[in-house]
Amino acid sequence: MRASVVWMVLTMAAAVLQHCSSGGGDHSSHPDMISELPGQPPVGFRQFAGYITVDESKERALFYYFAEAEGDPLSKPLVLWLNGGPGCSSVGVGAFSENGPFRPSGQMLVRNEYSWNREANMLYLESPAGVGFSYSADDSYYGRVDDRLTARDNLVFLRRWFSKFPRYKDRDLFIAGESYLMVQFNKRRNVFNLKGIALGNPVLEFATDFNSRAEFLWSHGLISDSTYRVFSSACNYSRYVSEYYRGSLSPVCSRVMTQVTRETSRFVDKYDVTLDVCISSVLSQSKILAPQQVAERIDVCVEDETVNYLNRKDVQSALHARLDGVSRWSVCSSVLEYDFLNLEIPTINVVGSLVRAGIPVLVYSGDQDSVIPLTGSRTLVQRLAEELGMKTTVGGWTQVYGNALSFATIRGASHEAPFSQPERSLVLFQAFLRGNPLPETF
């Protein structure tokens, strides 16, 4: 009963907004259309970018970048991509470093051969306000942002975005993202034609996810036996993070983390323990999931292509973007004071309710990530499947439960899987969108 009332109210609101919006069925004269991004090669798909106001009275607006699918966009689904952090940019990380059509290289943009817009219309949202080009004119907002507020704004965004792009309204919608996400966002799924959710290296349950780090580091030969022991008993990682964000770091946790940090060394990339290239922007979103004592932090990357590119005035003008309240665009927000204790709220239950409602969920792990290691995700997905009474239908490298819950690892991939394994990630993405069996090896 309640759900249908909510649904009616939202549809009505959407209809009203649509009536008032200027966006027609075809977007040829759409105000948000990008004529060309500086340095981009010629392409056969259209791009849009701009703002959607989510709160008029507070003048809060969220920035998006939308790359239509290459070839026959009308027949392809819509995918909303969200990066985590919380507080990091889906445009900077997702679109320009991971699965978008281009990657910045010097003054130019080069094509990403494995861009996900080959398969879908890709919508990248910078959320919440305070991240990237998204802003709140009233900056007192930044001091009290949490999951609830973010989810609310995201929902308003999506509804209003659909009224700006009405021809996508009834399209199959998938939501994909990595790291720290609010799956709650989709609770009112009736409003949208939601067909599936893909979560990469997600935080599903704080303690299980974070505490799987010790074993991952130990089994990859990155910490000693004795350090593994204290990291699992004296102070485990969930306790450390919990104390850290409460500003009450105990001497024992401080000692244990210093030891762990010394052994894993500055030169092992925690987000891909086998990778050794400069990927500072890609890393930033996870810094928050892996707080480090300041003295241990080292900036290995002097230059960051995405940061340079998105801070160019000509690029900002092509994107219809502007800086509000900050002097530079940055990968992860410098103004936002997110309520990080929200990390402790489990999202695995929401995954359960989505699966119960018949929405397919895919959890995938880049298998070289030590920040949210595959072992924790695998345990949580397996536990959920058991709870739901779902039987394994495919075993082995990928694991499928019933017909709505899957777990896969991407070989050789980092926390940001499409960054380090673009081809394998695209193969997985294709199978997921089409509802095909996951490839056995990739």
Q: How many CA atoms lie within 13 A of 132 on its CB side?
A: 39
What are the residues facing 101 on neighbouring strands? Answer: none
By DSSP bridging, strand 78-82 and strand 47-55 are unpaired
Helix (H) or strand (E) holding 373: none
415 in catalytic set: yes
Considering the complex, what minimum distance in angstroms separates the CB of residue 211 from ligand NAG? 4
Which token pair is 253? 């946790």
Residue with Cβ nearer ligand NAG (211 or 347): 211
- Asked if the bond preceding 202 is cis, omega within 30° of 0, the reply is no
Angstrom distance (rounded) from CA 174 to CA 146: 23
Q: What is the dihedral of CA 26, 29, 33, 38, to 10 degrees?
A: 130
Verify binding: residue 236, ligand NAG, rule CB under 6 A.
yes
105 in catalytic set: no
Span from 126-134, 169-177, 219-227, 230-238 in contact with ligand NAG (CB under 6 A): 230-238
Verify binding: residue 238, ligand NAG, rule CB under 6 A.
yes
Which token pair is 232? 């699992």
Using the structure block, give the residue that is written with the tokens 């995954």: 351
75 in catalytic set: no
Residue with Cβ nearer ligand NAG (236 or 375): 236
Considering the complex, what minimum distance in angstroms separates the CB of residue 375 from ligand NAG? 12
The answer to whether 324 touches 135, Cβ cutoff 8 Å, is yes
Residue 233 sits at φ, ψ, to 5 deg, of -120, -60
Neighbour count for residue 411 (Cβ, 10 Å): 14
Among 46, 152, 220, 239, binds ligand NAG (CB under 6 A): 239
Using the structure block, give the residue that is written with the tokens 């979560």: 199
Residue of 134, 136, 179, 281 marked active site? 179
Residue with Cβ nearer ligand NAG (236 or 333): 236
Verify binding: residue 375, ligand NAG, rule CB under 6 A.
no
Among 89, 112, 136, 211, binds ligand NAG (CB under 6 A): 211
Q: What is the DSSP string of 274-315?
A: T--S--HHHHHHHHTTS---GGG-----S--HHHHHHT-HHH
Contact string 150-189 vs ligand NAG (x = CB under 6 A):
----------------------------------------
Considering the complex, what minimum distance in angstroms separates the CB of residue 209 from ligand NAG? 11
Considering the complex, what minimum distance in angstroms separates the CB of residue 237 from ligand NAG? 8
Q: Is 272 helix (H, G, I), strand (E, B) or coil?
A: coil
Considering the complex, what minimum distance in angstroms separates the CB of residue 239 from ligand NAG? 4
Residue of 55, 147, 367, 369 marked active site? 369
The answer to whether 388 touches 81, Cβ cutoff 8 Å, is no
Contact string 287-326 vs ligand NAG (x = CB under 6 A):
----------------------------------------
Considering the complex, what minimum distance in angstroms separates the CB of residue 245 from ligand NAG? 15
Span from 70-78, 236-244, 281-289, 408-416 in contact with ligand NAG (CB under 6 A): 236-244
Considering the complex, what minimum distance in angstroms separates the CB of residue 238 from ligand NAG? 5
Verify binding: residue 421, ligand NAG, rule CB under 6 A.
no
The answer to whether 15 touches 7, Cβ cutoff 8 Å, is no
**Catalytic machinery residues:** 179, 369, 415
Contacting residues toward ligand NAG, per CB under 6 A: 207, 211, 232, 236, 238-239
